[in-house]
Amino acid sequence: MATMQPWKTSLVAAKARDEQASPELAGSALDAAIPQSSTLDGLVPSAVEPDWRREKCARFEWHPSRQLMRSLRDYAKARERRDLLGVVQRKWSVLRHRFWSAVSGAEIPLNSARIAGGLMMPHPNGVVVHPEAVIGPNCLIFQQVTIGSGPKPGVPKLGGHVDVGPGAKILGGVTIGDHAVIGANAVVVNDVPAGAVAVGVPAVTRRSSVRTLER
């Protein structure tokens, strides 16, 4: 007689416990098995308040994606200054942006002013972001992701704490709701509701009871 693996036994037991406690939580144990790789302290990040720890890096730390984002943030701050120091800071930010763009392989324009804080790019190679695209707080973007124009007029608008898997394409004037997950290699050309998971080409969505939980 075949023996069920311990981890499977735990999931089945948790699912049964959820179903007995509340029908609305049915299947939450399986959703909980989805890795939440964008967390820093075990809690689901906020979709409203940026967690700046996700972008933090030392001045000379070798962390291409965070250094790239730091150059973008510094450039935005320098543009607000109207003195000579502001001019120098802008030029220095431009040089840093060019360097870290080449190193990281990402194409995020320097004038991308609609990217909220807390953006994480563990592997930034091949990431392309439209300069007018909106990216909410605490998003996670993996390699080879394109966020740009498409069949629907406009540019994408990502809510807070959206995780975008490797190779995904988000095209046109679509809206991705808070806490949504875009699966690897998905091609999104329609809106994705908050807390949903989008997979496939073209992407289709399913609900996830775990992604809507917020600290």
Do the domain assignments include residue 151? yes
* Torsion-angle region of 59 (φ positive above 0: left; ψ -120 to 50: alpha; else: beta): alpha
Indicate the pTM of the whole model: 0.76
Query: What confidence score (pLDDT) does residue 211 get?
Result: 55
Do the domain assignments include residue 6? no
Q: What is the CATH number of the domain that holds 152?
A: 2.160.10.10
Mean pLDDT of residues grouped by 10 in the chain (215 residues)? 44 45 40 45 82 90 94 93 90 96 95 92 95 95 95 94 96 95 95 93 76 50
Query: What confidence score (pLDDT) does residue 192 get?
Result: 95
Residue 16 near residue 198 (C-beta atoms within 8 A): no
172 pairs with which residues across the strands?
A: none
Do the domain assignments include residue 69? yes
Q: What's the start-to-end Cα distance of the chain, in Å?
A: 44
Query: What confidence score (pLDDT) does residue 207 get?
Result: 72
Do the domain assignments include residue 97? yes
Buried b / exposed e across 84-100, counting CB within 10 Å, b at 16+? Answer: eeeeebbeebeebbeeb
Query: What confidence score (pLDDT) does residue 112 get?
Result: 86
Cis peptide before 124 (omega within 30 of 0): no
Query: What confidence score (pLDDT) does residue 111 get?
Result: 87
User: What's the domain count of the chain?
Assistant: 1
Residue 43 near residue 138 (C-beta atoms within 8 A): no
Do the domain assignments include residue 22? no
Three-state SS string over 146-215 comes to: EEECCCCCCCCEECCCCEECCCCEEECCCEECCCCEECCCCEECCCECCCEEEECCCCEEEECCCCCCCC
Instruction: Give the tokens for residue 151.
Output: 């069949």
DSSP string covering 84-120, please? HHHHHHHHHHHHHHHHHHHHHT-B--TT---B-S--B
Residue 36 near residue 96 (C-beta atoms within 8 A): no
Query: What confidence score (pLDDT) does residue 58 get?
Result: 87
Query: What confidence score (pLDDT) does residue 59 get?
Result: 84
Residue 160 near residue 116 (C-beta atoms within 8 A): yes
Do the domain assignments include residue 30? no
Do the domain assignments include residue 84? yes
Do the domain assignments include residue 21? no
Query: What confidence score (pLDDT) does residue 49 get?
Result: 93
Instruction: Specify the DSSP class assigned to residue 1.
Output: -
Look up the domain containing 62 and give its range: 52-207
